[in-house]
A and B are shown apart, each in its own frame.
Chain A
Amino acid sequence: MPRPSDKTDLLQGTLDLLILQVAALGPVHGYAIAQRLNQISKEALQVQQGSLYPALHRLEKRGWLKAEWRAADSGREAKFYALTAAGRKRLNVERTEWDRLSQAIALVLQTAKP
């Protein structure tokens, strides 16, 4: 699959966390998620549509997101994703894990400084 080489590839699994996090703020459609991730990360994280939509559908199938068609601000029909109760739990789990992981990595990087 063609990938832009100058952007950071998302770690496997982190995209799920980010999507859940964005969706936690309220029902949101795919385009908006991509835009938000792009803006918030100051354009460091470029989410590929080829990854985004499969991830959304996967999360929906697992019951962490629920989808609903309704009109967006532009008036067009869009598929909005919202966090379910199970999704909220999942988000907490993923966050804790992420925190642990990043702390661990930070620790290694600090203590193993040359």
Chain B
Amino acid sequence: MRGDDEIDRELRFHIDARIDDLIASGMAPDEARRHARVEFGGEVQVKEALHDQDSWRFLENLLRDVRFGSRSLKRTPAFALTAALVLGLGIGANATVFTIVNTLLLRPLPFPQAGEIVQVERRTPLGSSGSFSLHDYRALTSQRTALSKLAILDVFCSGRYTLITAEAAEPIRGCHVSADFFSTLGVSPVHGRLIDGGDDIPGETPTVVLAHGYWRQRFGSDPSLVGKSVTVSGQPHIVIGVAPEAVQAFSRADMFLSLAVPRASSDRTNSFQVIGRIAPGVSRAQAESEIDSIARRSARAEPSLTNMPQGIVLHALQDNFVAPIRPALQALTVAVGLVLLIACSNVANLVLARALVHRRDVAVMSALGASRGRIVQRVLAENLIVALVGGGAGLILAYAGVRVLPALSTANMPQADRIQIDAYVYLYVMGTAALAGVLTGLPHAVHLAGGDLLRWMKSGSAQGGASGRRLRLTLTVSQIALSTMLLAGAGLLTRSFWNLATVDPGFQADGLITMTVSLAPSRYPDSARVAGYTDEVVRRLEQIPGVRAASSTTALPSEFPIDFPVSVAGRPDEQSLAGRPAALDAWYRAVNPHFFTAMEIPLLEGRVVNEGDAADSAPVIIINQALARVAFPNGDALGHALIVGNGYLKDVRDLRPRTVVGVVGDTREQGLRFAPTLTMYVPVAQSPELITRLALEKIPLRWVLRTNGDITDLLPAVRRALLTVDPTQPPADFATMDEVLSRSIAPQRFNMLMLALFSGISLLLAAVGVYGLTAYAVVQRTRELGIRISLGASPTQLVRELLMQGLRLGIGGTLLGLLSAAALSRLLRGLLFGVSAADGPTIIVVFTVMTSVVIIATYLPAARASRIDPMLALREDVAS
């Protein structure tokens, strides 16, 4: 290096000049040379000092420190491995959650200018709703300028349909979309073309676009499919193209079917959703105010047809996607942050303990003239190595984690297949590892930089310095506190989940099988024919040994509701019932006679549906207790008549009064979260035609089977029974009712499991921390304890003393943690259910668990202290 050379020359000149001076003053040349050298001192040190000023020198030092650090770590592999593993656990947990957050919250949806895409929602008294009617969509789309595109599509954009090909009939997921759908997303076709302006004209042959994944899996990416005809829901469709993969981030549908949008429509059924794209240069607020005033104008002009009297609000599409999981992700992010802090604190404690053992290294460095900064730098370098190894371990953990996590969440995480580890995650892991390295080294470094180095190094083995001990105590208490916070969060979520899972649903879920069949409305155009089909299927199903009762139904418990207004016949509309409007909204279900037997819903009054309730007999209705109480507060429901769908249904026959013939028990199928829903049951044969048609178009028919055999043994027979009645209508989505119900609380279970996992890790780390602290104290105080035992102190007394110290730590840390948890409880509020953030039992359990763990972790090493042989202890100390 040139710089080195120059420095050499400069220093040489200095020494030579001195030698010259000394010779000139009369010294012998040899003597002068020796004298000058001694006087100059360590040439190397001067150079070292010069080097340290150089910025390159910093890196060089770092490299040397890293080399030194890895050598020194190799000498203590147990420490290095433990520390790296503990940090790996913390970093891995963080990287996993970050990967999910990165994909779902931070990365935009995979569409061009995804920020311009909005979900259009109606303002409602309780917030907003994304469901729209054809009428309102027509009204919105007529005068808009701020939204360049506005598309209408099925509200459940992956409904069940049956695809009939040459070989077989098979269930598929489909979504009806209007012409603007693909241009709103801004995507181009992989093959052929996408649904556009020519495809939503009523009366034309409907077209379909295949989803990329379905095209690949089902048709082996066969491009010749474009232009061919397929039958969906009994109607021929022409395949016009294949959508790009990106669309799967929006919907999991296998096929997109063209939605015929009439120029004007009086259909006010809210069974669609609307998305739009804001024109370039227009802000979301501007677009919202324009579309809002269009909606209000239309509502004033046609008050009887509108469902949007309160106007419109626009949400970013991305926000809408992640809104349901945002609170959970926020809580998880905080949870893994806490885990990392505990891990760091734990390792920092290890580092401090090890530092005491390695004091001599520091002493030697200092004696050789290393500055304090250099010593601190070396200490930090060592920790950085450990943290980077930990980061590597964490990354491996994250790779496993992102596979396991979405699986655990059972399809409740939108766009789960988009979750993957990318460059940002690598950066994040590096950053976290670096941060962890600094954090773990910091207490030691501060200690070195601030304290009296010499005294610390001279201090014998007694305590390792009072300040070092205080530092370790503080770290341990902080671990207990952090772990308490996580434990409290996990406790609250466990209670919430328990509350949800143990709600009596009002029916017997055990032994109930469910499935779906997508009936083509073209084959079953009216209620009588649907009833004929379902009654025949029921007859055949109930012949199967092991099937005790079977029935079709409009919707399964825990599924989205289909509700219609219901009013008491003969009662004037303006009359209120206990402050409620005369027309109530109640969940609607068309069922076969054995529905209540199959579900084991108790009959409270009157009778259930029977075989005599045919299309041409007197219309009847069964209501649940909740509806009976609200509509008939005097308890005289039987014999009264109800009108279903007033205001929605037009057909006089559909609006016939239906006599209440039975009252059945409430089903709290969605858990306590939802108050017992008002529900009405209508015989399939008497179901209003419009409802039958709408239901079949939007959702497949659900089936429930009460069984007492092995479910898997029954399935082939069940499938055969269905296909015998109609080979073009295959069953799909076989599941036990327990599965259906547990799916409905899967997000809660996921949150609970995650927090339980993280708090378990943290508890373990905190226990290790306490154990380490006590074990270390026992070792450090061996001599003192030995003397005290030899002077007559009883071992139990010593153990008690150590335990008391542990107890103080435990109680202090736990209380601190509970207080901090209270401050953070805001984060959990949205996730709790049937339990308050300050739940007494949870606090007591957390307190007990935490202090017990601390006491056990203290007792194990403390018990060792009582077995100290005084003579050995004294000798040992002399030897060291």
In the complex, whether B219 has a CB less than 8 A from a CB of chain A is no
Within 8 A of B (CB), among A7-56: 29-32, 34-35, 48-51, 53-54
How many whole Å from B723's CB to the nearest CB in chain A? 88
Query: Do the beta carbons of A58 and B53 come within 8 Å of each other?
Result: yes
B5-32 vs A, Cβ < 8 Å mask (1 yes, 0 no): 0110111011011101100000000000
Q: How far is the CB of A72 from chain B (nearest CB, A)?
A: 7
A79, B10: Cβ atoms closer than 8 Å:
yes
A2 within 8 A of B: yes
Q: Which residues of B contact A29 (CB under 8 A)?
A: 13-14, 17
Partner of B46, one of A2, A32, A49, A72: A49
Q: What residues of B have a CB within 8 angstroms of the CB of A113 in the complex?
A: none
Among the listed stretches B37-45, B692-700, B757-765, B803-811, which one makes contact with chain A, having 4 or more residues with CB under 8 Å of it?
A: B37-45
Q: Is B50 an interface residue, CB under 8 A from the partner?
A: yes
Given that A31-B17, A31-B18, A54-B53 are contacting pairs, would A48 and B41 also be in contact in the complex, using a CB cutoff of 8 Å?
Answer: yes
How many chain-A residues does the 8 Å CB contact rule pick out?
23
Residue ranges of A at the interface with B (Cβ–Cβ < 8 Å): 1-2, 29-32, 34-35, 48-51, 53-54, 57-58, 61, 72, 74, 76-79
- Tell whether, in the assembled complex, residue A50 and residue B41 are in contact, meaning their CB atoms are under 8 Å apart: yes
The CA-CA distance from A77 to B13 in the complex, in Å, is 8
Q: How far is the CA of A54 from the CA of B47 in the complex (A)?
A: 8
CB distance from A45 to the nearest CB of B (A): 15
Q: Which residue of chain A lies nearest to B370 when distances are taken between CB atoms in the complex?
A: A1
Q: Of the candidates B11, B17, B21, B42, which one forms a contact with A53 in the assembled complex, judged by CB atoms under 8 Å apart? A: B11
- Whether B369 and A1, one on each chain, are in contact in the complex, defined by CB atoms closer than 8 angstroms, is yes
Query: Would you call A76 and B13 a contact (CB within 8 A)?
Result: yes
A35 proximity list for chain B (CB < 8 A): 21
Task: Say if the beta carbon of B462 comes within 8 Å of chain A.
Answer: no
A residues within 8 A CB of B16?
74, 76
**Contact (Cβ within 8 A) A49 B40:** yes
- Closest CB-CB distance, B316 to chain A, in whole Å? 52
Is B49 positioned at the interface, with any CB of A under 8 Å from its CB?
yes
Chain A residue with the shortest CB-CB distance to B52 = A54
How many pairs of residues, A versus B, come closer than 8 Å at their CB atoms? 61
List of B residues within 8 angstroms of A79 by Cβ: 6, 9-10, 13
Could you list 14 examples of A-B contacts with CB < 8 Å? A1-B45, A30-B10, A31-B13, A31-B18, A49-B11, A49-B40, A49-B41, A53-B11, A53-B49, A53-B50, A57-B53, A61-B53, A72-B13, A72-B17
Also in contact, A53 and B9, with CB within 8 A (given A1-B369, A74-B17):
no
* Distance, CA A49 to CA B44, complexed state (A): 11
Whether B13 contacts A50 by the Cβ 8 Å rule is no
Q: Assuming A29-B13, A51-B49, A72-B13, what are 6 further A-B pairs, CB within 8 angstroms?
A: A2-B369, A30-B10, A53-B49, A54-B52, A57-B53, A77-B13
A77 to B17, CA, bound (A): 11
- Which residues from A are CB-within-8-Å of B10? 30, 53, 78-79
Whole-angstrom distance between the Cβ of B852 and the nearest chain A Cβ: 53
Please indicate the chain B residues that have their CB under 8 angstroms from the CB of A1 in the complex: 45, 369
Q: Chain A residues near B7: list those with CB within 8 A.
A: 53
In the complex, what residues of B have CB within 8 A of residue A32's CB?
Answer: 17
Contact A50 B53 (CB under 8 A): no
| Inter-subunit contact B45/A74 (CB<8 Å) | no
- B18 and chain A: residue at smallest CB distance: A31
- Chain B positions within 8 Å of A50 at CB level: 41-42, 45-46, 49
Nearest-neighbor residue (CB-CB) of B366 within chain A: A1
Of A30, A54, A61, the residue contacting B49 (CB under 8 A) is A54
A37 CB to nearest chain B CB (Å): 14
Q: A50-B45, A77-B9 are in contact. Are A57 and B50 (CB under 8 A)?
A: yes
Interface centre among B10, B42, B45, B369 (most CB of A within 10 A): B10
Chain A residue with Cβ nearest B368: A1
The residues of A that contact B46 with a CB separation of less than 8 Å are 49-50, 53-54
B20 — which chain A residues lie within 8 A by C-beta?
Answer: 74
Instruction: Determine the distance from Cα of A79 to Cα of B46 in the docked complex, in whole angstroms.
Output: 16
- Within the complex, the shortest CB–CB distance from B842 to chain A, in Å, comes to 57
In the bound complex, do residue B53 and residue A78 qualify as a contact, i.e. CB atoms below 8 Å apart? Answer: no
CB distance from B20 to the nearest CB of A (A): 6
> Whose C-beta in chain A lies nearest to the C-beta of B42?
A50
* Cα(A72)–Cα(B17), bound, Å: 10
Query: How far does the Cβ of A18 sit from chain B's closest Cβ, in whole Å?
Result: 17
Nearest 10 A/B pairs, CB to CB: A31-B17, A31-B14, A54-B49, A1-B369, A78-B13, A50-B46, A79-B10, A49-B46, A50-B49, A54-B50
Q: Which residue of A lies closest to B371 (CB)?
A: A1
Residues of B with C-beta under 8 A to A61:
53
Q: How far is the CB of A55 from chain B (nearest CB, A)?
A: 10
On chain B, the residues within 8 Å of A76 by CB distance are: 13, 16-17
Residues of A within 8 A of B53 (CB): 54, 57-58, 61
Q: Which residues of A contact B52 (CB under 8 A)?
A: 54
B13→A2 contact, CB < 8 A:
no
Chain B residues within 8 Å of A58, by CB: 53
B14, A30: Cβ atoms closer than 8 Å: yes
Please name all residues of chain A whose beta carbon is closer than 8 Å to the beta carbon of B6 when the two chains form the complex.
79
How far is it, in angstroms, between the C-alpha of A19 and the C-alpha of B518 when the chains are bound?
94
A-side contacts of B50, CB under 8 Å: 53-54, 57
Q: How far is the CB of B555 from chain A (nearest CB, A)?
A: 78
Q: Looking at B11, B16, B49, B369, which has the most chain A CB atoms within 10 Å of its CB?
A: B49
Considering the chains assembled together, what is the distance between the CA atoms of A79 and B6 in angstroms?
A: 9
**Contact between B41 and A2 (Cβ–Cβ < 8 Å)?**
yes
Most buried by A among B9, B17, B42, B46: B17
By beta carbon, the residue of chain B nearest A35 is B21
Complexed CA–CA distance, A54 and B11 (Å): 12
CB distance from B182 to the nearest CB of A (A): 63
